[in-house]
Amino acid sequence: MSDNFRLTLAQLNPTVGDLAGNAAKALDAWQKAKAAGADMVALPEMFITGYNTQDLVMKPVFHQMAIAAVETLAAQCADGPTLGIGAPAVEGGKLYNAYYICRNGQVVSRVLKHHLPNETVFDEVRVFDSGPLGGPYSVGNTRIGSPICEDAWHEDVAETLEETGAEFLLVPNGSPYFRGKMEVRLNMMVSRVVETGLPLIYLNMVGGQDDQVFDGGSFVLNPHGELAVQLPVFDEAIAHVNLQRGPDGWRAVPGEKTHHPDDMEQDYRVMVESLRDYMGKTGFKKVLLGLSGGIDSALVATIAVDALGAENVRCVMLPSEYTSQGSLDDAKDIAERLGCRYDYVPIAEGRQAITNTLAPLFEGTQPDITEENIQSRLRGLLLMALSNKFGEMLLTTGNKSEVAVGYATIYGDMAGGYNPIKDMYKTRVFDCCRWRNANHRPDWMQGNAGAVIPVSIIDKPPSAELRPDQKDEDSLPPYEVLDAILMMLVDGEASVADCVAAGFDRDTVKRVEHLLYISEYKRFQSAPGARLSPRAFWLDRRYPIVNRWRDPS
């Protein structure tokens, strides 16, 4: 009986729908495992299709091709280590989220996911059928249990595997980031280790998919919860984990333990990686955005340069008569600090033409928010024209506070294909800008080091500059108050009474609640953006557009 087992972990970045590309990544990992003398190479959950596939996987021709791709891969990996890879499976007319075990040129075993997540960004109950509780599979003379992602968050699957002879647990995952997620994962997996007494290998994928970023951070736990191996977050990695069998069973030999950055750095990395992968996986090469001289567009421009390089970012200042000299100076300053293209496109002439066109219809009325929004929509029109002409994807720049209360113009400054800061509240935007000025990570940031965001942008009062001397606080509570209320109403699903009990003025809370509900139609039409929290707008929080209910408390 062998007392050593080498497992290669392939923490890789698949692309949804790219069956051939994902299979090629898996084959390359297998070849590296073979060269390293591994007994098995493992890839994450649903790797062959990419994850999260949503309804795509239910399309018969798609899941049939995915299954065929696994069978072809198994044949290619005949002479070497066992291959474990996630893919859909069909059995008895039912569709499953499965983990395939391939050896000697064929599929020798399949694990079917039992617990299907049906909250936050997941709708697996809608997509897949639940598999039965099963036992371990064999690799040589070693029996391995593989709870698939959600299965490891419940006691029964791991305990059944331990009771039926599993000697260690290998957990393939497609687990996306939210702030603090790693601690949640570690605590849950330690529970499984303590309950079963078995080592546990947690394998997660990396990379962006629409709003989600899979953050990797794969790890290995020995019995009693001792951390033996910790892979980096966000980066692809091929790691060889050695296990040794002793009198008390298998134990992982301690290996690399990568330090994980703090929450702010991880949030910023998610915004960079989500944009980079969204661009790369959809085929766009360049972006543009309206650079107002304000803090939100300054942060988005910085993220874009860090993600894509300054040569692939165009910043456009579109001033009106209400644009302050300070904003003009700040916009040009940050573009120069970032090193990206800067275009100056005044909107006065176009705005006057629109005003003249509408004058007969508006006769007898007083100027109001309509005229303010024309400015924003004209800017959106001009930016989309540049996008169409030059093939550059337009980024939109609204933070979570603005997205929540609708402090943005639909078909105006909301126009765009992606919003990196969509899930970051305004108060955190300020903190994030200060963090980026003080920190530079050359291994994954393509932008310049140093204070790339002028302090004058961070320090000045926020303003849309759509009328004379306008300030955001003319229309909204101070952001410190607004964000605190929103964190209760949105992230915490708190009641109005809860907010009042926390010390907030009831009229202010009711006003914020009203704005939150009446802005649902805007969010329904807004661009996707990086998910940083477990209550991001889109899949995490889904409210009806037509909704007359208001909290009476």
CA 344, CA 347: separation in Å to the nearest integer? 10
Q: What is the pLDDT of residues 281-293, one digit of tens each?
A: 999 999 999 999 9
Specify the long-range contacts of residues 341-346, CB closer than 8 Å, at least 24 apart: 341/313, 341/314, 341/315, 342/291, 342/315, 342/316, 342/317, 343/314, 343/315, 343/316, 343/317, 343/386, 344/316, 344/317, 344/319, 345/316, 345/317, 345/318, 345/382, 346/318, 346/319, 346/320
> Is 113 among the catalytic positions?
yes
Q: Residue 46 region, left (φ>0) first, then alpha (ψ -120 to 50), else beta?
A: left
Taking CA atoms, 312 is separated from 9, 12, 14, 91, 384, in Å, by 34, 26, 24, 47, 17
pTM recorded for the entire structure: 0.96
> Is 45 among the catalytic positions?
yes
Q: How many CB atoms lie within 10 A of CB 487?
A: 18
**Closest by alpha carbon to 33, among 70, 11, 8?**
8
What is the residue extent of each domain of the chain?
Answer: 4-260, 264-524
**Partners of 250 in beta bridges:** 245
Q: How many CB atoms lie within 10 A of CB 251?
A: 17
> Is 149 among the catalytic positions?
yes
pLDDT at 472: 77
CA 319, CA 327: separation in Å to the nearest integer? 9
Q: What is the pLDDT of residues 394-452, one digit of tens each?
A: 999 999 999 999 999 999 999 999 999 999 999 999 999 999 999 999 999 999 999 99
Residue 375 near residue 323 (C-beta atoms within 8 A): no
Q: What is the pLDDT of residues 444-455, one digit of tens each?
A: 999 999 999 999
Residue 406 near residue 526 (C-beta atoms within 8 A): no
| Domains 4-260 and 264-524 fall in the same CATH topology | no
The rounded Cα 490 to chain-centroid distance in angstroms is 18
pLDDT at 464: 75
Q: Which amino acid is at 364?
A: G
Q: What is the pLDDT of residues 38-88, one digit of tens each?
A: 999 999 999 999 999 999 999 999 999 999 999 999 999 999 999 999 999
Residue 289 near residue 452 (C-beta atoms within 8 A): no
The rounded Cα 267 to chain-centroid distance in angstroms is 10
pLDDT at 353: 96
At 52, list the tokens: 């999260």
At 64, list the tokens: 């049939």
pLDDT at 12: 98
CA 440, CA 462: separation in Å to the nearest integer? 26
| Active-site pick, 149, 315, 340, 432 | 149
CATH number of 4-260: 3.60.110.10
Architecture of domain 264-524: 3-Layer(aba) Sandwich (3.40)
Specify the long-range contacts of residues 61-65, CB closer than 8 Å, at least 24 apart: 62/17, 63/88, 63/90, 63/95, 64/90, 65/19
Taking CA atoms, 56 is separated from 62, 88, 128, 148, 280, in Å, by 7, 11, 12, 20, 20
- At a CB cut-off of 8 Å and minimum separation 6, what does 106 contact? 71, 74, 75
At 193, list the tokens: 């280790």
| Active-site pick, 25, 45, 150, 465 | 45
Regions of the chain where pLDDT drops below 50? none
CA 23, CA 69: separation in Å to the nearest integer? 7
Q: Which amino acid is at 531?
A: R
- At a CB cut-off of 8 Å and minimum separation 6, what does 152 contact? 158, 169, 171, 173, 188, 189, 192, 200, 202
**Closest by alpha carbon to 522, among 429, 402, 371?**
402
**Closest by alpha carbon to 214, among 262, 169, 162, 175?**
175
| Active-site pick, 25, 77, 102, 113 | 113
